[in-house]
Amino acid sequence: MELILDRGLSHQQKPIDLISDVFKGVQIDSPTRYFENPTISLFDNNIKKNINEIQKKLPPLYRGFTPVDKSLNLDIKMETGTGKTYVYTHMMYELHKKYGINKFIIAVPSLAIKAGTANFLKDEYSKRHFRDVNGYGTEIEVGVLESPKNKKKGRSYFPSVVSEFVRGSSQNSNKIHVLLVNMQLLVVRKNGLLSRDDYDYGTEGFYRPFDALKATKPFVIIDEPHRFSRDQKAYKVIENEINPQSIIRYGATFPNKAGSNKNKSTHTKDYQNLLYDLNACDSFNLNLIKGVTKEHFDPVSKSAEKIKIMSIKNKESINIQFLKKNHKTKTSTLKKGDSLSIIHEAFEGITIDGIGKSYVVFSNGIEKQVGEELDVDIYMTSYQEQMMRLALDRHFETERINFSERNFKIKTLALFFIDDITSYRESDEEKKPYILETFEKLLIERIEKELSKLTEYEQEYKSYLEASLDDISACHAGYFSRDNNDSDEAIGQQVQTILYGKKQLLSFKNEDGTPNTLRFLFSKWTLKEGWDNPNVFTITKLRSSGSENSKLQEVGRGLRLPVDENGNRISNEEFFLNYIVDFTESEFAKKLIAQINGEISQGSIITEEHLAEVAKSLGVSTDDLFDELYDKNYIDRKMNISLEKREEFFINYPEFSKGLATGKVRDSNKKRVKPVKIRKGAYDEIKDLWERVNQRYLLYFEKEVDQEMDEIVLSILEEPGVFTDMVMTSSREVIESDGHSMTTGNKTGVQYIISNSIPYNEFLKRIMKSTNIPIVKIHQGMCEYVKRHGDLAEKYINENTASIFIQKFNEWRNSNLQGRFHYTKSNTPVKSTALSYSDGTPREAISQGRIGNKIAPGSPSSKYLYDTFAFDSPLEYKNMASDIEEVIVYGKIPNNSIAIPTITGGMYSPDFMYVVKKPTGEKEINIIVETKDVEDKNSLRKVESAKMESARVLFDLLSEEGYKVHFHDQLKNKQMAQIIREVLK
């Protein structure tokens, strides 16, 4: 499979544009040496002016210009899972295109992040996306700085990736040079890789790598800035040794200001010219990431056994007391490296990693101060076994839906965090890996149970589960930090797959065509920031990390929206991450919600300005609106929002909506979200319409389009700038004497137009794959171009030309093909659907996320297809809550269930379906509705309008075939009753 990147997502395009806007009108001088970036005039007043203008859209707390000291600092805040790596990669292309910047250093805090970033930058699907889809015609050349594994005696070699990065020409318009480095290498040591100056040779006259990097005048991108606080060594090295022109930080979490209290609100964060704030609240509410469902078991034994840190002696040993039923028993003295199993067998595998003046650090990451306690219950094997059983239940609930109940399949993954490697890895010791053995036993039981529940319509899923049973060990893999130095081939393959094989993990098939059943991953807190997989749906912390770090960072490994088996990101329905913890973290959901709402201003109070703004939109006075809200007990006299009525308030007054939407973070111990039931009687009434609109249709363009294709291809080829040169610039240095010693002096170089062509057949194939224009048509257009304009130099048959042609054709297609196509019914029979099995019988229920991410109290009208108010927008809720006399039955169309092909190349699925009776009484009128919660059609994106027009053509065809279907769009200012009466007329 190949991952497919979305282009132009607004939450990703906006920060790219904002960074670019910082440099509008700023003086930028051309490079004086071939290997350096253009020089930004950092004290140009336009920089401050541009930043102040950009920050007007931020809350007042986040505004403020940070003057340039050594570098221009810029911050972009984006929540985990929203595509930070994509955004800063796209930003590099944009800054290169607009300002000629082509030397970037990306600094990351860990090896896992470095591996993921390198994969993204190097992968062909990423390169093709920016080159062809976005039309930059430029490629990134990335060098990954690694610590030398085997230091050889004798000659010392200057780091080759640094040399290649430095020598890359900033005047080459087709290359962006990137150096990727982890923070451990950014440390000045006596023999540090970048800080030493005794190499046998250098590059461009530099023998110290830091000096060479500094000379390129780079831009530095910092990923995960909370790991790079400004008082930390790695940051100081970036600032002083590399001294970039600009430091651009991208992160979900930023470090605190020096001396600030970590428990205070986010205004204590150390922002440096914050430009964009895509916080967790917006990310959850806009469905840019998964929601979270937390679940835990209460203690198993109720034994109330604990251990307590009593005292520490000279940072060498600790005294730990064992408590049972809160009664003191024995006290043990342990040193670094000792196992806690000396105190109680439940702590097997936990050792003391470090001892401080007043604290101790255990091998599972827990840090405890003197006087603090640890519960024994959560370390008992029986407790962990129940957690694994629960995790498998949640996994297979999700996997079955993702495999069998959608129009596309989603590979479903689960991640387990453990703290004892020997409990999973087999070793030469007699000790059995109890987590591994227990997990495989439970997995076999759970798969056999799942097989017994399958219907006759789920044969493909049955085969997948049977393949899992045939080789249970192939279903799981682990990655631990010590694996990096393990020579075992099987372990090496697991590490390769987990760290670097994202696409392999997402695929249902191995390269040889056999089922790929690997979907359960184990790690020891190693997969932290930087590692993620979009299809992780369950995370289980088998033993608490004891961490008080960001709760968002903890769930971050599974927040990204999933992709289907073809690599398409699924963003038009709601998904949830199952997060399973032990009882010591029973308040996890509460703390997560508090953290999310704590990141926004005015999350629990209405300001005077907001009240006045909403009153004006509703056409009432500010005082009248206040009285109305106060009388309904939605607010108090100080305009604090009532916690008890918060959900009801936002449903009835969506204009005030602030903070995390209800149901985005769930605590399953309090209320388990149930599937929404499908009412059989209502389904029987709407079955005919449902089956008709689920019939498959193929889209064909009119013959005239094919006949015009020669002319269209030729017209695009004849547009200025389609055929481009490639240029190489020389740097000329002269060795001369200044009367005392020999020196080098720069002289004017030359620029040559070079031939960097690709084979003609590859050129044609590249255009054909992205446009679906037959190769023969492209070839004929090229021949006609040559006939009219003379021979075409071979150098123009290059990647740039192909990319520009593809971009221009896509623009032409979206503007010119509306109304020039038709649909033909496919012979493919309708199998199972989101609401029914292949024999036409209705399903019992449907997952809530497929019909709405919000739940309102109450029971819908008996005419409604489902037994629950599940909706995505206030307009949808109004439709569901309206019992219209003429309506026989109505229902929300499950997301992504009706696949209408459109001219944009994608599929389209409307929102609502209605069956209405005529004035004479018989049911005959079918209405399909697309709801858009906007004021007017001018607010709709061009792509959305194109999809709706395509649907209109299809439903007109159904009507011509004898099955009348009315298709309408519904905007914010129109009620459903009005649409129905218009149709009846």
What is the tens place of the pLDDT at every residue in 370-399? 887 777 776 666 678 888 998 999 999 999
3-state secondary structure labels for all residues of 139-188: EEEEEECCCCCCCCCCCCCCCHHHHHHHHCCCCCCCEEEEEEEEHHHCCC
**Has residue 188 been placed in a domain?**
yes
Range 237-248 average pLDDT: 95
Q: Mark whether 357 and 209 lie in a shared domain.
A: no
Q: Provide the 10 A C-beta neighbour count for residue 851.
A: 27
Instruction: Give residue-wise pLDDT tens across range 266-301.
Output: 457 889 999 999 888 778 777 788 888 888 877 655
The radius of gyration of the chain's CA atoms, rounded to the nearest angstrom, is: 31
Q: How far apart are CA 56 and CA 68, in angstroms?
A: 20
List the single range of 132-141, 411-420, 808-817, 938-947 with lowest mean pLDDT: 938-947
Q: Mark whether 371 and 264 lie in a shared domain.
A: no
What CATH code is carried by the domain that includes residue 414? 3.40.50.300
Q: How far apart are CA 720 and CA 801, in angstroms?
A: 11
Q: In which band, very low, low, confident or very high, does the pLDDT at 491 lie, cut at 50, 70 and 90? A: confident
pLDDT at residue number 2: 62
Examine the pLDDT at 177 and tell me if it is beyond 90. Answer: yes
Helix (H, G, I), strand (E, B) or coil at 532: coil
Highest mean pLDDT range out of 493-507, 677-691, 815-829? 677-691
**Has residue 727 been placed in a domain?**
no
pLDDT at residue number 265: 40
Q: Mark whether 193 and 325 lie in a shared domain.
A: no
Instruction: Select from 547, 582, 597 the last residue of a domain.
Output: 597
| Contact (Cβ atoms closer than 8 angstroms) between residue 733 and residue 742 | no
Q: Mark whether 844 and 915 lie in a shared domain.
A: yes
Please tell me the total number of residues recorded for the chain in this structure: 985
Q: Mark whether 50 and 162 lie in a shared domain.
A: yes
Q: In which band, very low, low, confident or very high, does the pLDDT at 746 lie, cut at 50, 70 and 90? A: very low
**Has residue 740 been placed in a domain?**
no
Instruction: Select from 597, 623, 638 the last residue of a domain.
Output: 597
Average pLDDT, the chain: 81
Q: Mark whether 593 and 618 lie in a shared domain.
A: no
Q: Provide the 10 A C-beta neighbour count for residue 509.
A: 12
Examine the pLDDT at 692 and tell me if it is beyond 90. Answer: no
| Inter-CA distances, 808 with 670, 764, 865, Å | 54, 15, 45
pLDDT at residue number 267: 53
Q: Mark whether 162 and 123 lie in a shared domain.
A: yes
Residue for token digits 């605590």? 667
| Inter-CA distances, 123 with 4, 115, 495, Å | 12, 12, 18
Instruction: Select from 359, 379, 399 the last residue of a domain.
Output: 379
Residue 875: partners with Cβ closer than 8 Å, 6 or more residues away: 931, 932, 933, 970, 972
**Has residue 953 been placed in a domain?**
yes
The percentage of the chain sitting over the pLDDT mark of 70, rounded to a whole number, equals 84
**Has residue 966 been placed in a domain?**
yes
Q: How far apart are CA 70 and CA 513, in angstroms?
A: 55
Q: Mark whether 512 and 430 lie in a shared domain.
A: yes
pLDDT at residue number 745: 46
Higher local confidence (pLDDT), 652 or 521: 521
Q: In which band, very low, low, confident or very high, does the pLDDT at 825 lie, cut at 50, 70 and 90? A: confident
Q: Mark whether 684 and 763 lie in a shared domain.
A: no
**Has residue 173 been placed in a domain?**
yes
Q: Which domain holds residue 525?
A: 387-597
Range 905-921 average pLDDT: 81
pLDDT at residue number 735: 41
List the single range of 156-165, 788-797, 931-940 with lowest mean pLDDT: 931-940
If one counts the domains in the chain, the total is: 6
Q: In which band, very low, low, confident or very high, does the pLDDT at 315 lie, cut at 50, 70 and 90? A: confident
List the single range of 123-132, 133-142, 785-794, 915-924 with lowest mean pLDDT: 915-924
Q: In which band, very low, low, confident or very high, does the pLDDT at 725 lie, cut at 50, 70 and 90? A: low
Q: Mark whether 361 and 233 lie in a shared domain.
A: no
Higher local confidence (pLDDT), 667 or 161: 161
Range 303-316 average pLDDT: 82
Q: pTM for the full model?
A: 0.64
**Has residue 974 been placed in a domain?**
yes
The percentage of the chain sitting over the pLDDT mark of 90, rounded to a whole number, equals 26
Range 702-711 average pLDDT: 81
pLDDT at residue number 922: 65
Q: Mark whether 424 and 332 lie in a shared domain.
A: no
pLDDT at residue number 653: 76
Q: Mark whether 62 and 177 lie in a shared domain.
A: yes
**Has residue 586 been placed in a domain?**
yes
